[in-house]
Chain A
Amino acid sequence: MALIKEIDYGTPIRLSEKTVTLSIDGQSVTVPAGTSVMAAAMSLGTKIPKLCATDSLEPFGSCRLCLVEIEGRRGTPASCTTPAEDGMVVRTQSENLSGLRKGVMELYISDHPLDCLTCSANGDCELQDMAGAVGLREVRYGYEGENHVFAKTADGLANENWLAKDTSNPYFTYDPSKCIVCNRCVRACEEVQGTFALTIAGRGFDSRVAAGPTDFLGSECVSCGACVQACPTATLMENKVIEHGQPEHSKVTTCAYCGVGCSFKAEMQGDRVIRMVPYKDGKANEGHSCVKGRFAWGYANHRDRMTKPMIRARITDPWREVSWEEAISHAASEFKRIQARYGRESVGAITSSRCTNEEVFLVQKLVRAAFRNNNVDTCARVCHSPTGYGLKTTLGTSAGTQDFKSVAKADVILIIGANPTDGHPVFASRMKKRIREGARLIVADPRRIDMVKSPHIKADYHLPLRPGTNVALLNALGHVVVTEGLIDESYVRERCDLDAFEQWARFVAREENSPEASEQYTGVPAADVRAAARLYATGGNGAIYYGLGVTEHSQGSTTVMAMANLAMATGNIGRDGVGINPLRGQNNVQGSCDMGSFPHEFSGYRHVADDSTRQVFEMMWGVPLDPEQGLRITNMLDEAVDGTFKGLYVQGEDIAQSDPNTKHVTAGLAAMECVVIQDIFLNETAKYAHVFLPGASFLEKDGTFTNAERRINRVRQVMAPLSGKDEWQVTIELARALGYEMSYAHPGEIMDEIARLTPSFAGVSYDKLEKLGSVQWPCNEKAPTGTPLMHVDRFVRGKGQFMITEFIATDERTGPRFPLLLTTGRILSQYNVGAQTRRTENGAWHDEDVLEIHPFDAESRGIRDGDLVSLASRSGDIALRAEISERMQPGVVYTTFHHAKTGANVITTDYSDWATNCPEYKVTAVEVRRTNHYSQWQEKNFEEDVTLRRIAERLPDAAE
């Protein structure tokens, strides 16, 4: 196994219908028009020396190393900035060029340290490579002159040109003495990431890379790592490489954070990860990354990792470490006992959206075939279940319509209830790039998120609606489209159900749905709504991107359908650059839904009551299956509190932290007789568990994840499971102990079974994934290489179905006791319940949840920035620090739920989406006041962090 090195063409690959043919060093080559001479040469395998060029960035032409000679042209043009032309005759080597390049290198090296042997880039330094390539043998200028290399001058005085290292960022170091000012980092920050945090300060010899007027950590830098990756020297270098040296082999795998599903090269020394480098051929990210995937993987080896199975009789007992056999047979006998006593329906499982498709498939199979009921649900229940319901009802399939790349063809981008720069940063970079190229932007969000305005990005319209009024806003947009004659009539006539369309059009045209009438609910000026609707309907390709701000409401499913109505009415589904796209929260939330994790569906979204589907599963699995749908997570907890649901197998989920109304969740868990947790840490839910089965991190797994664009990506094991067992193996052993035989030698065999049982996965195999890198489902006979765009000629369901989407205000209302609305979400550096990111250096950016509050609301309550405040709702109260922020609108406060000790979900309520029971996280009536103590729940929780986590014969650890 070797280190995977992608080819660097030097300048971006151009797409063009037209090709040009030229001669380079006597060889003829044909390339797409617009390709640089440098990239054309590289396509022949000819490496023209270069320093400032790399194919992730537009050509810059500053290093003067890539000079070539072109017949009929004067001088020696830079090959990176010269487009290839028909009939061009290029020479990349000559006496003249060689002399020029040597001269350039000589100047570079005269102001560069000669500590190559002890340099962290040793073995991976382009400057060193180029010195070798041009045959540099001496530096006639010496090294004593004015320089940026030495802290002191020859006479012992301080060197004013010298700058110390910047080690403020926990993951990488900036060493200015090694900088050749090639601008690659600055350009990566602008072009790839789109943050514009870096610049070149000074001019001429004083030119320095700078993170604005401050250090890296204090700057706008989002630590995506693009600059580090672009740096050709050791100027920007991962601290792990500085510490351990260069990696020696690598494997391509898939990030286990958000639903973007970035491909990474895990670069290793033995079984130690040295760094994760975004993989250029990964279709989801095309070589880009964010701070989480790139740097925040250290949790995999954190000392909190649990690696031994444990059991206990009562949750107040200390845990007892036992053998795998004992833990599994204990769990199985408990489930059997409970089913015998309380009935077949009294147990169930929750599958994880962080685990692989194969692992998830086995857990739902265990429930259906070994528990013999359908009580299986997944955390998609609490995030994107309305997406599944809404898109299936209107379009016929429970997933987004586009690939990520499609955004590059969008003309108008409509973002609703999503904060991509924080939640889906790598996709946000693509989106920002398109906006910088001129795409128009509409943002519907209660908060002034970064997409509303940030460097070189400005929304044409920000519609700052009141939380809970999405449907009113979307109906108002639909109203304008219908009443102002902006319908794409031929599209609707050809592709949609006309009766349903007319029913919808009559409904949405009613006066109560006009922007003027709905302003009283949404708070958004009617004129802005009208202008935004006109822009979306008439501005060319209109693409909708949305997140949990849409789904996590009482009317989450209604909003999804309202978006589908709007997109169908304007003809914006079924080609590149348009569509409706959920930005999914967790790495494999799409996959866990696809794999049959919902209590009413087998894999591929087929209802359990459907006899023909069920018979196929019964035949393959050799047992009769229950035709009745099972319990959803919320129903399981309700029935647990009610006393009828008694046993739960939780795969890699932390419902005690992530699910709403914590007190209700923990009451449900505490009422159960057997809770089995399979996880890598003793999470919050594990406080209520009786059996702990140690899990594996993504670095320890073989399998697949499916991202938000339906792309199935391979996850490859780079180190052995710390617990000694693969997670899928544990599920198999548990099934066997329950009396149901499962047998697979490798996750690839589980995928083969998935393919046999699931029409949309029929063409998926590990062999194919190996060959193609990834595929987007549906992948079957009709689409053997997968389906990047859905609904191209017709909707999956046949005719597009318009649905009537009446606005019904949530029952959660503000009033004198709870006058403010709380909405919750996430930030860039932390992920979900924080179990992973809190165990990394990402705390440098966000080490506690804070309450964002508008200055007006703060002032009227006497709250100053940094004050401890009490946040109370009808469900409960917590205390946290206030951060005064004009990103909020008056009357709305915001917090994150990343830190267990805060307990943000103590505040959220039981209210949920009408169709799917997806909880209403985004609207909670609250009051905020100053306080000087933590809440009763928090105090109790601090105590239980210790009392419910004791392990026999071990000293209690400090609570995390």
Chain B
Amino acid sequence: MTEAALTTADAGSAGDDRKAEHLAKLARMAGQIADFFKAYPDAEAVPAVADHINQFWTGGMRDAFIDAYSARPEDLPPLLRRALPLIRPARGS
């Protein structure tokens, strides 16, 4: 990761833009998942959203998402905010 971070850092702000774009995409994907399950009562929807992300996102994607939004969960829609603590970090991280 550090190597990769170094190479993107070379690109300066273009790298930051790409990181931001990548995060925005993850947030959008998570939002779509929450949109599907929001028709269910919270007791079912919250674990279902987290479970979907845990089953289909790589550890790296989950970590990036958790890192970015743990500090500012208010940026997430309510259901996703409640599901955030149930999203599993990558194994070994």
Binding site for B on A (CB under 8 A): 341-343, 345-346, 503, 507, 554, 557-558, 599-600, 607, 609, 627-632, 635, 638-639, 641-644, 804-806, 808, 910, 912, 914-917
User: Is A554's CB under 8 angstroms from B55's CB?
Assistant: no
Return the 3 tightest CB-CB contacts between A and B, nearest first.
A914-B32, A643-B8, A804-B39
Tell whether, in the assembled complex, residue B39 and residue A638 are in contact, meaning their CB atoms are under 8 Å apart.
no
Known A643-B7, A914-B35: A628·B15 in contact at CB below 8 Å = no
Task: Report the Cα distance A635→B61, complex, angstroms.
Answer: 9
Q: Is there an interface contact between B39 and A558, defined as CB atoms closer than 8 Å?
A: no
**Complex-state Cα separation, A339 to B11, whole angstroms:** 22
| B18 A641 Cβ-Cβ under 8 A | yes
Q: Which of B52-70 contact A (CB under 8 A)?
A: 52, 55-61
A-B contact pairs, 10 of them (CB 8 A): A346-B4, A599-B58, A627-B91, A628-B90, A629-B57, A643-B4, A644-B1, A806-B39, A915-B36, A916-B56
User: With contacts A630-B58, A914-B33, A915-B33 known, what are 6 further pairs, Cβ within 8 A?
Assistant: A343-B3, A641-B18, A641-B22, A642-B8, A805-B39, A910-B25
- Asked if residues A914 and B8 are in contact (CB atoms below 8 Å), the reply is no
Chain B contact residues, majority secondary structure: helix
CB distance from A669 to the nearest CB of B (A): 15
Q: Which chain B residues (36-58) contact chain A, with CB distance < 8 Å?
A: 36, 38-40, 52, 55-58
When C-beta atoms are compared, the residue in chain B nearest to A644 turns out to be: B4
Query: Is there contact, CB below 8 Å, between A342 and B4?
Result: yes
Say yes or no: A554 contacts B32, CB within 8 Å. Answer: yes
> Nearest Cβ in chain A — how far from B93, in angstroms?
10
Residues of chain B within 8 A of A632, CB atoms compared:
56
A558 partner, pick from B4, B7, B29, B36, beta carbons under 8 A: B36
Residues of B within 8 A of A642 (CB): 8, 18-19, 22
- Cβ of B55 and Cβ of A629 under 8 Å apart? yes
Q: Do B36 and A600 touch across chains, with their CB atoms under 8 A apart?
A: no
Near A by CB (< 8 A), chain B positions 1-31 give 1, 3-4, 7-8, 11, 15, 18-19, 22, 25, 29
Residues of B within 8 A of A638 (CB): 22, 25
Closest to B30 in A: A914
Q: How far is the CB of A497 from chain B (nearest CB, A)?
A: 13
Q: Which residues of A contact B91 (CB under 8 A)?
A: 627-628
- Residue of A503, A628, A916 near B58 (CB, 8 A) is A628
In the complex, what residue of chain A is closest to B10 when comparing beta carbons? Answer: A643
- A342–B22 CA distance with the chains assembled, in angstroms: 18
B34 to chain A, nearest CB (A): 9
A915 touches B58 (CB 8 A): no
**When chains A and B are docked, how far (Å) is the Cα of A630 from the Cα of B91?**
13
* A635 and B55 contact, CB distance less than 8 A: no
Closest Cβ–Cβ distance, residue B31 to chain A (whole Å): 9
Taking CB atoms, residues of chain A closer than 8 Å to B38 are 806
**How far is it, in angstroms, between the C-alpha of A642 and the C-alpha of B3 when the chains are bound?**
13
The minimal Cβ–Cβ distance linking B18 to chain A, given in whole angstroms, is 5
A residues less than 8 Å from B36 (CB atoms): 557-558, 806, 808, 914-915
How far is A804 from B3 in the complex, measured between Cα atoms in Å?
Answer: 45
Residues of chain A lying within 8 A (CB to CB) of residue B61: 631, 635
Interface contact B60-A345, CB-CB below 8 Å: yes
A885 CA to B13 CA, complexed, in Å: 48
Closest beta carbon of chain B to A167's beta carbon, Å:
54
Alpha-carbon distance between A4 and B57 when the two chains are bound, in angstroms? 50
Nearest-neighbour CB distance to chain A for B87, whole angstroms, equals: 14
A910 to B18, CA, bound (A): 15
The answer to whether B55 touches A914 (Cβ under 8 A) is no
Closest to A641 in B: B18
Contact A507:B39 (CB < 8 A) given known A343-B1, A628-B59, A631-B58: yes
Contact A345 B58 (CB under 8 A): yes
Taking the closest CB of chain B, its distance from the CB of A553, in whole angstroms, is 12
Q: Which A residues lie within 8 Å of B90 (CB)?
A: 628
CB-based contact A635/B58 at 8 Å: yes
**A341 and B3 contacting across the interface, CB-CB below 8 Å:** yes
Q: What is the CB-to-nearest-CB distance from A800 to chain B, in angstroms, rounded to a whole number? A: 18
Q: Which residues of B contact A804 (CB under 8 A)?
A: 39-40
CB atoms of B3 and A342 under 8 A apart: yes
C-alpha spacing A343/B19, complex, angstroms: 18
Closest chain B CB from A648 CB (angstroms):
15
Which residues of A are found within 8 Å of B40, using beta-carbon distances? Answer: 503, 804
Say how far A145's CB is from chain B's closest CB, in angstroms: 77
